[in-house]
Amino acid sequence: MTRRAWRQLRTTFLLFLGVFVGGMVAMSAYTLWRLRGEAVANGLGIAAMHSRGFEDFLTQSLHVTELVAANSLAQVSLVRDAREIERTFVAALQHVPFLRSMSLLDDAGRIVASSNPANLGVTVATQNYLPADAGRLQILRIGEPWAGRDFASGQPSTAGTPVDADSLGFIPVTRSIGLGKGRVTLLFALNPDYFINHIAQKIAAEEGSVSVLRYDGTLLMDSDPGGRPGSLQDHFVSELRLAEVEFGQFEQGSGEDRPRLIAFRASRLYPFLVVTALDRRPALQQWRTETRTVLGVMVPALLAITLLATGLYRRQMQLAEQRAESERLQQINAASVFTNAREGIMITSPDGTILDVNEAFSRMSGFSREESLGQNPRFLRSGVQAKEFYTAMWGDLIGQGHWSGEVWNRGKSGEMFAAILTISAVRDDQGRTRQYVALFSDITLLKANEEKLKRTAHYDALTGLPNRVLLADRLHQGMMQTQRRGQRLTVAFLDLDGFKAVNDQHGHEAGDQLLMTVAGRMKQALREGDTLARLGGDEFVAVLLDLSDIPSCAPIVDRLIAASAQPVPYGEQILQVSTSVGVTFYPQAEEVDADQLLRQADQAMYQAKLAGKNRYCVFDAELDRSVRSHNERLEDIRRALLADEFVLHYQPRVNLRSGAVIGVEALIRWQHPEKGLLLPAAFLPLIENHPLAVDLGEWVIARALAQIAEWRGGGLEMAVSVNIGARQLQQAGFVERLRTLLAGQPEVGPGRLDLELRETRALKDLASVCAIITACRKIGVSFALDDFACGHSSLTYLKSLPVSRINIDRSFVCDLLEGGENRAVLEGVIGLAKAFHRQIVAEGVESIEQGQMLLQLGCESAQGDGIARPMPAADIVAWVAAWQSSPGALRGAALPSVSVPHLPIRA
């Protein structure tokens, strides 16, 4: 047994013995405390009983005094002779032994008749009697004690001159009773000795005392020989809180010379209280006897138990020393076996405490023998193995008696080392496990070489990406996972454009740096779970998992292309390449394997090379054709914008009633070099959700402003309406960009520009759109809702958006003459426009009859082919001049000629 184990055993024994002895002492102390509390409570109960009994006796005595006063005064009212009154008083005193004298006071407080003739003429001050004189109330009042036997020979006491303890004294009491219209006052001299003798019969002097005090603290009488009537104990009375309680009891602190048990009780009828003070020592006499008995039994018992436990402890220590010595000899013998072993050896107790280690273990772990002894093997735990690993290990050890396997441990330096560990249980003759012996063989270098070989076999040495072998495994697993989940897998074959030129111009070191940087960027562009592998040279393959559909891979492939195209600094030079990507998908209509997918992606990559590089191509023939066509058309539009192939045509807008030209609408056309003039339907849908829509929209605004300036220079003031999409309106910085475009044509007033909002269904945040429109209106640019009453146009937009005009969609105007629902809708829209104070323009007017009907419905502004078809800007000036000279001509040879004087449309 080690010294530490000895100390632990000794500490445990002393702790147990201390807890036992302390528990016994605490239990005994608690029992004695409870017994003392019960004894004190009994003593306080006795004191309370004495206070209650004497208070009742004194109250009854004073009540008798009141009855005597009432009877005596009844006779006084009949007798006019003073001597007869005195005889009446003397006769009354024979029945009340506690009264010394009975006198009659006049209004000045002078005794005019008395049972004691000597009292005649004595003046008695009753101002400080309690309760205080309350007018004509007929109540008993108690005064301060007097020294002497009666009023004739006595004098009143004060707080400064109380009655001596061995002197005679009495307590003056008055009772006023009304007689007819007058009032007389009787004065009594109460004999305190009568009441003290009554108390002495109940309580012996050595047991305690009873004192009677007025409510103001004046001592009236005290059975204690040392008490001085007339002394003031107002502080004591104030602590009793008589205003809140009538009785109570408490134990005076042990700091007093004579600890006492106090009980008090106040009279309900008269201004006095009785205080009983019992000596605490007699009350605790029985408790002291019980305490001596308990301690006499407990102390010897504890001493005997302590001696017995100490003897048992010493015997066990002797046995433990013998076993420890035996085990030490066995360990010495075992040490000769494993001291020079090359494997690390550890011997532990059944609970896992390390008993010994050899030098090989210390070299392997870094912990010396002294640092290891007494520890648990878990101090080597590295955290590589989970808790379940060690649970299974101990399960085998306990069940089978041995365990063997690989384990990662952490040495003293903090570095981990791998070991082959074999643990065997050493059991005695009864089959009980006495020790465990563990053998360690360091295989850290072997594991490092194994990991290095594994990484070399599966990862690219330059970029650290998976190589072709690991790619095949990942691709195979991804295909099986895709089949289980019912989703799609994408294989992208990437080849760097221009990498050979970098190698040739800057050397292989620069090429390697470029490959490592580009590989890292492309890996960051992928999602977690995707795989990027290097096949060799400048070829890479990306495997994209968990795709819901084919188009969802496009953003990821775009990120790969963008990541590879970023410049790479190399010294003072900047290296840059692009990437051609071939894409294929799995599963397909026909069964394909991993190699076929790679070949398909490789073929698509070459198509991307042939198409101009820096792009991707999809192997699927039909989809590839669609994607390529879409990209080509987007590229054509971008090229056309740069080549200034787009033009604006303008369709006039007139007032049907006055014939005035109120503006024109700018309509974009594409002057295609091969296909001729293309209408917006041929190209605008392609860029609806593409950044090109913003670029083209800004070109239209800039061109319209330039045309307004050109017309103004020629003397024609014309307002132009421009269609604007929701994407452009909600583009960040739209208001600032509009200001810039207006600033480019300073001669054009902002009021000449009118923006017609299309695609209201694409408006995401009406509040922000309202803010943008409001900011534009502050500049001077007005807004209109185009194609109203069609599609997603609604009352919400009419109510929420601060537009100044709404354009009725042509579909309602074309069917206007047929009546029915279209006409009802048109009437409702015109009514709403008027209700919301919005201007209204009818689009698609093609006949005089439509114009007449619109006027009847209240719509005066219109545009359409019946007024004028869209025309180049150069034709507008001539058309306006012709229109103003002759109020309009309705196009269309098939229409009949109708002259309508009030309508500026004619055939």
Domain coordinates of the chain in residue numbers?
40-283, 344-448, 459-619, 641-885
The CA distance from 122 to 116, in Å, is 11
Q: Which CATH fold would you assign to the domain 344-448?
A: Beta-Lactamase (3.30.450)
641-885 CATH pick, 3.40.50.80, 3.20.20.450, 3.40.50.2300, 1.20.120.160: 3.20.20.450
pLDDT of residue 902: 39
Which has the higher per-residue pLDDT, 65 or 252?
65
pLDDT band of 855, cuts 50, 70, 90? very high
Which has the higher per-residue pLDDT, 650 or 848?
650
pLDDT band of 180, cuts 50, 70, 90? low
pLDDT of residue 336: 62
pLDDT band of 546, cuts 50, 70, 90? confident
User: How many CB atoms lie under 10 A from the CB of residue 91?
Assistant: 12
CATH class of 459-619: alpha beta
Give kind and range of the element (H or E) at residue 845.
none
Rg (CA), the chain: 60
User: How many CB atoms lie under 10 A from the CB of residue 486?
Assistant: 8
- pLDDT tens-digit profile of 391-439? 888 888 888 888 988 888 888 888 888 888 899 888 887 778 888 888 8
> What share of the chain in percent tops pLDDT 90?
37
**Is there a contact between 382 and 409 (Cβ–Cβ < 8 Å)?**
yes
Strand, coil or helix: 112: strand
344-448 and 40-283 share a CATH fold: yes
**Does the CA dihedral 785-788-792-797 come out positive or negative?**
positive
- pLDDT tens-digit profile of 659-692? 899 999 999 999 999 999 999 999 988 888 888 9
Cβ-count burial 514-537 (b if 16+ within 10 Å, e if not) = bbbbbbebbbebbeeebbbbbbee
* Nearest CA among 716, 720, 737 for reference residue 728: 737
Which has the higher per-residue pLDDT, 844 or 620?
844
- pLDDT tens-digit profile of 78-130? 555 778 888 888 888 888 899 999 999 888 889 988 999 999 999 998 888 88
Which own/partner pairs from 439-442 qualify as long-range (CB within 8 Å, at least 24 positions apart)?
439/343, 439/344, 439/345, 440/343, 440/344, 440/345, 440/346, 440/360, 440/361, 440/364, 441/343, 441/344, 442/344, 442/364, 442/417, 442/418
In this predicted structure, the answer to whether residue 167 has a pLDDT above a threshold of 50 is yes
Which has the higher per-residue pLDDT, 624 or 380?
380
The CA-based angle 195-199-202, given to 5 degrees, is 150
The CA distance from 855 to 318, in Å, is 125
Summary mean pLDDT of the chain:
85
The CA distance from 28 to 25, in Å, is 5
CATH superfamily of 40-283: PAS domain (3.30.450.20)
Which has the higher per-residue pLDDT, 339 or 777?
777
What pTM was computed for the model? 0.40
